[in-house]
Amino acid sequence: MAIAVYQGVDGAYSQLVLEHFMRERGIAGSTLGVPSYRELVTLLSSLRGDFGVIPIENAIGGTVREAYDLIGEFELSPVAEILWRVDHRLLGVRGATLRDVREVLAHPLVIAECGKFLAGLEHARAIPCEDTGVAAREVARGGSPEIAALAPPSAATLYGLIELAAHCADHPATYTRFLIVRPKHGSLPGLARASDARRKTSLIFAVEERTGSLARCLSILAESGINGDKLESKPYLGHGAERIFYIDFDGDVDDSAVAAALANLRSACKSLAVLGSYDAHVGEPVGTPAGVTPSLERVPEHRVVEPIIVQVESPFPRVARPSKPHGTVLRVGNVRIGDGEFVIIAGPCSIESREQILETAREVAARGAIMLRGGAFKPRTSPYAFQGLGWEGVTLLAEAGRASGLPTVSEVMTVDQVSRMAEHVDVLQIGARNMQNFDLLKAVGRAGRPVLLKRGFSATIDELLAAAEYILAEGNPNVMLCERGIRTFESATRNTLDLSAVPVLRERSHLPVLVDPSHGVGVRRWIRPLCRAAKAVGAHGLLVEVHPNPPEAKSDKDQALTFADFSEIVEDLAQIPIPLADLVRAGE
Ligand code: PEP
Ligand code: MN
């Protein structure tokens, strides 16, 4: 499955262009929106996306020079050009009318394209916005009839908006030229040149500041029978009055005549970058929806598009992804969880002594942990096993947290522990055995502290989400979910670490997801590979047990990591990239 990257969020024109290109070429895959063009080219050049789209020219606004410059700088290969006829509609919230509109959010190029239309909207002013998808999304989020967006009709359906006016561009034939680009060393089939395609080539070159130097360069092309398609210039900053030229022409660098002309051009100009050759767009621009005949004399229509809103009875509406599509970012002191950084919470299973917790705190802080864990009230299978230091342990944990600068997390086992624990630790942990202790969930929901909710070892994913809903329903939105292994027939490991829960939880819920491989496998040497897997599969972070001297640990000694183990894991994790989709901050 290919990953196709565009700048923007769902509903952007670039996304529509990518989907069109993928349909045309029979490429299966998904589109991924990123916040900026620079991020887009960086992803592609590091082979973390298969191809992408960049608008390079707008019929009204002219060349998008940043796009040419980035394609050159990151050495991407152009694949095909697509001319897309934009069809701007004015979208508002349900119940809004044209008369209500005071602000119109739109991409600056769209504002330029809809100048007359906007001038005719009394009392409304245009507000530039980074892309069309964001404009539509903000209108939906704001919920005000006074704010509208200029966006394609598909964005109305996507964000549940209505059309207040159709075909808003001043000129019905306005279009944008997009270039599909791929990494130079990418290998996705389906991106090869189409056999019958007319080819085009794009160049950037700089000429000496001398009379006739541009004319000489152009005549080299003309003498070779090359038909220039477009020429544009900008100052060559830092080089006096010299200028940089962008030129597109018919032909392919692999044609011998073109190759010879480029060799001559290279010697005639000061510098030359060949962006590459690509399939030219043939025929009229695409993208105009069937049945729409743009007209210069059109009057804004008032038409309602029924949004697709699926009402589902959900047992966890507050926890479900749609209630916060862009994800919860949990803040604990200076720490942020769920914000695109992969974080590690570390510390001993049990707090055993002042020295033990202070040393562990110091060491894990120095080696990259962002939060200190430690159990004071331990849920042990045997009543004769070490039960934890209780409140004395909580005091020691708080001291170690202050000394190391790390926020702290510790388990609460009963309702009557909650408020006192909340005074001393930063995050309240609900252990696997208590995941469905509903009174306890309600109590932590009211305690005013973030909650780390562990999955019960015989709980389904939906039961975990419903347990989180108890906490949110009490008014506490700050919950992180933790997969810590479930009980299966497998006995080689302490539990079965259900890493498949991570993408499922990420899809179903907006809450951050942690993985606890320590309790998942229970064996020190298997924790390291599972840490890598947890990051690769899309978890937001880890919870791991670390002890100064594992053989002496009073609980869970087989799974306790040494400080050296912990460092190796941190180093390993630096080699694992955060999954692509998490780089999408979607304008948040
Ligand atoms: C723990 O984190 O030490 C613990 C007891 O975990 P769980 O509730 O997942 O068994
Ligand atoms: Mn433990």
Q: Which residues line ligand 1 (CB under 6 A)?
A: 349, 375, 379, 431-433, 454, 484, 519
Ligand nearest to the CA of 547: 2
Instruction: Report pLDDT for 454.
Output: 98
Q: Which two tokens stand for residue 359?
A: 């040393």
pTM for this structure?
0.54
Q: Is residue 475 part of a domain?
A: yes
Atom of ligand 1 nearest to the CA of 378: 5
Ligand 2 center to residue 554 CA distance, Å? Answer: 10
Residue 58 is which amino acid? N
Residues in the 5 Å CB sphere of ion ligand 2: 349, 556
Residue 342 has pLDDT above 50, yes or no: yes
Separation CA 393–CA 239 (nearest Å): 67
Q: Which two tokens stand for residue 165?
A: 């006016």
Residue nearest to atom 1 of ligand 1 (CA): 349
Separation CA 15–CA 53 (nearest Å): 8
Ligand 1 center to residue 519 CA distance, Å? Answer: 7
Instruction: Report pLDDT for 86.
Output: 85
Ligand nearest to the CA of 454: 1
Q: What is the pLDDT of residues 566-580, one digit of tens each?
A: 999 999 999 998 876
Residue 184 has pLDDT above 80, yes or no: yes
Atom of ligand 1 nearest to the CA of 516: 9
Residue nearest to atom 6 of ligand 1 (CA): 431
Residue 114 is which amino acid? C
Q: What is the pLDDT of residues 103-148, one digit of tens each?
A: 999 998 899 889 888 988 878 899 998 888 889 999 998 889 999 9
Instruction: Report pLDDT for 582.
Output: 62
Burial label for 298, CB within 10 Å (0-12, 13-18, 19+), is middle
Q: What is the pLDDT of residues 439-466, one digit of tens each?
A: 999 999 999 899 999 999 999 999 999 9
Average pLDDT, the chain: 88
Instruction: Report pLDDT for 528.
Output: 98
Q: Is residue 377 part of a domain?
A: yes
Q: Is residue 436 part of a domain?
A: yes
Q: Is residue 26 part of a domain?
A: no
Report the DSSP beta bridge partners of residue 243.
235
Q: What is the pLDDT of residues 359-384, one digit of tens each?
A: 999 999 999 999 999 999 999 999 99
Residue 301 has pLDDT above 70, yes or no: no
Ligand 2 center to residue 559 CA distance, Å? Answer: 8
What is the residue range of 394's domain? 332-579
Ligand 1 center to residue 316 CA distance, Å? Answer: 24
Instruction: Report pLDDT for 405.
Output: 97
Q: What percent of the chain has pLDDT over 90?
A: 54
Residue 563 has pLDDT above 80, yes or no: yes
Task: Output the domain CATH number for residue 386.
Answer: 3.20.20.70
Residue 298 has pLDDT above 50, yes or no: no
Separation CA 114–CA 233 (nearest Å): 26
Ligand 2 center to residue 545 CA distance, Å? Answer: 7
Q: Is residue 416 part of a domain?
A: yes
Instruction: Report pLDDT for 313.
Output: 57
Q: What is the pLDDT of residues 514-556, one digit of tens each?
A: 999 999 999 999 999 999 999 999 999 999 999 999 999 999 9
Q: Is 107 left (phi over 0), alpha (psi -120 to 50) or beta?
A: beta
Atom of ligand 1 nearest to the CA of 432: 8
According to DSSP, the β-strands at 89-92 and 147-151 are antiparallel
Residue 322 has pLDDT above 80, yes or no: no
Q: What is the pLDDT of residues 218-266, one digit of tens each?
A: 899 888 888 888 888 888 777 777 888 888 999 999 999 999 999 998 8
The domain tally of the chain equals 1
Task: Give the CA-trace dihedral at 552, 557, 560, 563, to 10 degrees.
Answer: 10
CA 66 from chain centre, in angstroms, equals 22
Q: Is residue 553 part of a domain?
A: yes
> What does 171-209 look like in DSSP terms, one character per residue?
STT-EEEEEEEEETT---TT-SPPTT--EEEEEEEE--S
Q: Is residue 402 part of a domain?
A: yes
- Phi, psi (rounded to 5 degrees) for 150: -95, 120
Q: Is residue 522 part of a domain?
A: yes
Instruction: Report pLDDT for 580.
Output: 65
